[in-house]
Structure 1
Amino acid sequence: MEIIEKAPAKINLGLDVLYKREDGYHELEMIMSSVDLADRLIITPLKTNEIIIKTNSGFLPTDRKNNIYQTIEIMKHAFHIQQGISVQLVKNIPVAAGLGGGSSDAAATFRGLNRLFELNATKEDMVKLSVPIGTDVPYCIYGQTSLVKGLGEIVEPLTHSMPSCWVVLVKPKLSISTPKVFAKLSLDELYHPNINALKKAIEQQDYFEMTQHLGNSLESYTMKKYPIVSEIKQKMLAFGADAAVMSGSGPTVLALCQKQSRAIRIANGLKGFCQEVYVVRTLKD
């Protein structure tokens, strides 16, 4: 028996860094949603008690440094699973891109093992177990448009998905370490998007109003250090995007378009500038 799970990419429509906590981490407030660019996991039980991860990506470790491996260890311990597990990962989401690929892979592993072994774990159960793996994993377990707070462990699904539209994702040829970005942040210089206004616009299904409130506190640091990220955003807007914003700590920038023709025009305009360009749809809950 095998279980197949999709692991969709996440995007940040809004990301606000509120303050630095006493534990040294930063308090966040974000609006996240998911798109139909996805990794695929094939999960199979083994007769021998071992963990085997295989992937088509040469960039990913397949040992304990891998989020899938860590998730399997956590689930085996929490639910006393004695069987071994093999995971074949078909990687489609760019690595270290601000799209939560590794986190979504971990979330898909939680869901897949829950199904495979009929554990009857709730989303809340899995979220509690997922916190040590990464801040985006709790959101990816829910996988629907949500307000996300704290370190990422507080997930409040919104009453509606974000209004349906086309999303152009563009990743320049560089990778960004999220911990390093947060370590270098100057809180006094940050832009703070209006997360409440963004949330209200989504819940009212007002696409135009939503586009007016996209924002990311981390843009100022990443764009200053990597000017190509700013160039991508400006080109998207010049080519007619309804709105554009950096996802996560970058370097991927996303553009929203109501019309597919305009999304394709933006993608074509940027393909000569960056190799990794995707035109995708938003996912409905």
Structure 2
Amino acid sequence: LMDPGLADWIAQNGAFPSTMVDRIVPALKPENIPELAAKSGVTDRAPVLHEPFRQWVIEDWFVAGERPDYAAVGADLVRDVRPFEDMKLRCLNGTHSALAYLGYLAGHQTIFDTISDPAFAAYCRRLWQSEITPGLEAPEGVDLTEYTGHLFQRYANPAIRHLTYQIAMDGSQKLPQRILATISENLKAGRDSSGLILAVAAWMRYVGATDENGLPIKVQDPLAARLKTLSDKAGSVTEKVGAMLALREVFPAGLAKNPDFQKAVIASYADLARRGARACVLEYGS
């Protein structure tokens, strides 16, 4: 129903500030409950495991400027949330996904395990320095080099057992905003995207549902069955990549039809199939 009077009232008396939160929260395992009970003396059937870091960014848009004192509990009140969201999606979530697919294929169970491998540590740092931060608008008061350095420390926290398998879930829904948007912008600007393209190829290998040792992967994704069918039906690497790039739910037409992107993904996929994830990552980071 359309009620102009209600719309006017909302415009005068309502505010809908955008927000962004950042905290790494691994999935709870059954064994965590008795472990935490033994340490705390309290049995909590639904505990939340998380890292020490937390960030809550709120758009400073409230009716007549009246709002709770969010800053008193550590929230950042800002004019525009978008730069913070882009920074988090691309720097944190983007590298998380890249490390998840390549790390899983290389046999690493967690982000901590992955980042403890010198080849992957160098890969992650180069992604930030060469491919991700050059196209980012740094939020006011944020140094992107310091931010990514802090991110690396968060990844290297041995107490946070964030599974590569967990992060790899629902990749068809995550890749567009985490990785593909950065690649599209880099291609237009003539910047390097080889490390992120390697991650895209790793996703394609991963959703084929077979790891580098020939063992099955139980892919958790809304398109899992369709992705496996596409991978199984395709014969050559070129056909496999082409079938994946034709998925408009994942790859926008402008990117999927870019010949430079197509060639790079095909080459990366073939390299992963021939040499394995760790060897490809090692070469990129060296």
TM range (shorter): under 0.3
> What is the TM-score when the length of structure 1 is the normalising length?
0.26
- Bigger Rg over Cα: 2
Kindly indicate which of the two structures has a greater share of residues assigned to strand: 1
Kindly indicate which of the two structures has a greater share of residues assigned to helix: 2
